[in-house]
Structures are given as structure tokens and as C-alpha cells.
Amino acid sequence: MKLLSSQITVCRIGFLCFAAVFSANIRAHDIDVTGVGRVFLDELEANQYQLSIVDQQVPPLFNIQRILPERCIGLEPGRFSYRFSCEPALNVEDTLSFPWSLEGVVLIARWSDGSDVTGFFPGNGNTVDVPMADLKASSASLSSLAKRYLELGANHILLGIDHLLFVLGLLLLLQGFWRLLKTITAFTLAHSITLAFAVLGIFPVPNAPIEVLIALSIVFLAREIIMGQRGIRTLAHSKPWIIAFVFGLIHGFGFAGALGELGLSDKDIPLALLFFNLGVEAGQVAFICTLIALNFFITKYLSPMLYSLQRGLAYGLGGIAAYWFLQRIPSLFII
């Protein structure tokens, strides 16, 4: 156990050094609701359909024929809607390909039989593909919902550098496997609670102050790490799970920002929330396991430099978080 804890302490070095070099060019959250388009697909009579774009910042579809299956024909468009017909009707083998460089699209399909199906479809940087198989059958839509939101949750934690740095700071602060387990569990429990509260609308919080507090939480954690290296013990060292729980509540609201107002139907929100949270936890576990594996290598070849590397790591963590804190302050005054 003692060996494992020392290995966990060292392994953050590689990742944070990378983050310190590239932090100015990395967004803290790469999954952002401002980059998600919302579209309605309505099935009309006689194999006719209508696409309605909810967000005005989404680029218009100048040539709707480009996104449709070959047998479909575009009809006269409206201001924010596009009509088309297909012979035969759309089926599970069809795909709509939107030429948008967005994070993704939430598409709400409202079929003529009265059923509504919602799906989130991530983009690849150039297009967003929407397979009809994920919007036609209820079983397919459920599996699609699970897959999409697992991916969204995992991407959010793995691309959300500030959340990773907080977890990394907790590992640097701790000594002992069971203390690590209790602390990470407290962090997980706390952000799961506030994620649910925010997404379900029980306790919504504006995003700007949350982003500032997340950066401040990392600054605080870096300070506690440095204090510990100087031999000064605080509550963060004696009961780290309390600190992890308190800041986990704040980070949970940050996770909720990834879901935001995606336009999901009420019946889909609980499952989307569940799978998104599972994706976050999967990404977090993958990150920690990667650090542990990396640590074996660092311990073997860099052990004489351990103390200096740990000290530099703590200062780097605080420097990056302080930069983010100052960068985010102006957003508090934007109405």
C-alpha cells in the first residue's frame, strides 16, 4: 500500500508538465453547450418532413440536398425551417449529415404516430452525422442515448483540464491508498449530487461564477500541497475527503454545464443524466489508472529527483489555476 501511494504521488508529473506548457492554448471545457446545435425533425404527411433549427448561431443550410439521402428532394424552405420529401420514407438505414463544425447536435424527432425520440450526436469537426437508426426504434434510441452520453461524459472529464488537475492535485496531496479511496469517493459523490440538482432544475446556478470557483479550488489545493511539503498540516491533510466533498459540489455544477439546455425531452433527462455521470466516472478512473501506470516508469528512472519534481508540480498546478482564475473573472461582469 505504501509503495502504491508513493507511486500515485509521482505519476502526476508527466501530465501536469504537459498541461503547464500548453495550458494557454487549451480550453478548460472542450464540451460546451454553446457549440451544440438543437434541431427538430417533424414527420409530416405524404412522406414529407421538416427540419427546424432552434439556434440562430447555427449556420444555415444553403443546400439542404447535401445533407439528405439521395432519394430525398428538398422543398421550399421557411425562415428557420427546411422541408423535404423522401420516396420511400426515411428508414433506419438513412443518415442526415449536417455540414457544421459544432461539438454536436441534439435532434428531437417528432414522428407522425405521436412518438418523440431525442438523440445527441457528436461532431467530428467538419460534419455531424445523425443516423436514423438512433431515432426510429425505441430500443435503438435507448442504446443510442446510453452510448452518446457515456461518450459525452467521458470526453468532458478527459478534455476538461481543470477537473483533471483537481483530481491530480488530490492525488499529490494524499498519502495512503485508503485515504485516496475515501477522498476520490467523496469527490465523486459530491459532484454527482450537484450535477443531478443542476440538470433537473432543482438548484440551477449560473456558469460564470462556477468556472471562477473551480479555478479557485485548484489554487487552494495547490497551496495546501505546498504547505504540506513545508511540514505544515491543515484540515486538507488530516481530512482531505471533507475538502474533496465541498469542492466536488462546485465541480458538479461545472459538469452540468456540459449538459446545459440541450433540449432533451423530459423523459430522456434521467437516463441522459445517469449515462453522462457514468461517462464522467469512467473517464476519471481511466485518468487515475493512466497516472498509476505512468508512475511505475517515473519511480524507476527518476526517483532521485522525486522531491524536486513534486515541488515543481505543485507550483505548476497553482500557476495554471491562477491564470484561469484571472482569465475567468471578467465573465462575472458580463450580463
All residue ranges of the chain with pLDDT < 50 are 1-34, 137, 139, 261
Give the length of the chain: 335
Strands 36-43 and 104-110: parallel
5, 176 contact by CB (below 8 A): yes
The pLDDT value recorded for residue 14 is 41
The pLDDT value recorded for residue 153 is 81
CA-nearest of 203, 226, 217 to 163 is 217
Q: In whole angstroms, what is the distance from residue 211 CA to residue 166 CA?
A: 13
pLDDT in tens, 141-183: 677 678 778 887 887 787 778 888 888 888 888 877 788 888 9
Q: In whole angstroms, what is the distance from residue 240 CA to residue 242 CA?
A: 5
CB neighbourhood size of 283 (10 A): 22
The helix-helix angle for 161-173 and 138-159 (nearest 10°) equals 60
C-alpha cell at 17: 508538465
Residue with cell 478534455: 159
277, 185 contact by CB (below 8 A): no
The pLDDT value recorded for residue 33 is 43
327, 25 contact by CB (below 8 A): no
51, 81 contact by CB (below 8 A): yes
Q: Where exactly are the structural domains of the chain?
A: 2-29+160-333, 35-148
DSSP structure string for 220-240: HHHHHHHHHHTT---HHHH-H
> At 323, which amino acid appears?
Y
pTM: 0.64
The pLDDT value recorded for residue 24 is 40
The pLDDT value recorded for residue 34 is 47
The pLDDT value recorded for residue 218 is 93
C-alpha cell at 90: 426515411
Q: In whole angstroms, what is the distance from residue 242 CA to residue 252 CA?
A: 15
